[in-house]
Structure 1
């Protein structure tokens, strides 16, 4: 996660790269990280009742549990993609050179 862009680094990008995904295996919400403050705070897409951009704290996700009591997980199989892909329009394919790890 240390390789995620710092807060504000992608603010001028039209279609930033989404680096990682957090989810509860027993809950329908998903958090996609675009930027990271290096400590606990992420900026990205929250896909819950609707999709919205905003900040979220990993510590808050870790404090909570899904419907069956399962903890939040980082999706280790998530392939980084462009923001537009998550919003339903495939504007750009990700160049492997753009992935910071």
Structure 2
């Protein structure tokens, strides 16, 4: 069972052909290199799941830019509400 992270973060691939977005809410207490959240690879099928932080760190978007954290993002509802909206719209809506 994952422990709640002290804060939630939203990250995305800047200037990528597919606008991938991750809304991560929890770290695995047994493996802090694994996070849980809402993952949208830009393919129209966002889903809740686990992701390796090392894998995210290795992803590069257009012009070889790394994933960046959206420092302006302030969550205003629970993850379940973001997940329901994402399933309805085929992408993470913030």
TM-score with structure 1 length normalisation?
Answer: 0.63
Partner Cα separation in structure 2 for residue 40 and residue 75 of structure 1? 20
Q: Note the residue ranges of structure 2 that are not aligned, 5 or more in a row.
A: 87-94
Comparing both structures, which one devotes a greater share of its residues to strand?
A: 2
Structure 1 counterpart of 2:14: 25
Comparing both structures, which one devotes a greater share of its residues to helix?
A: 2
1:58-80 CA deviation, whole Å, 9 max, x = no partner? 21111120122100111111112
Q: Note the residue ranges of structure 1 that are not aligned, 5 or more in a row.
A: 1-5, 10-17, 90-101
Partner Cα separation in structure 2 for residue 75 and residue 85 of structure 1? 16
Q: Indicate the RMSD between aligned Cα atoms, in angstroms.
A: 2.4
4+ residue segments displaced more than 6 Å: none
Structure 1 counterpart of 2:89: none
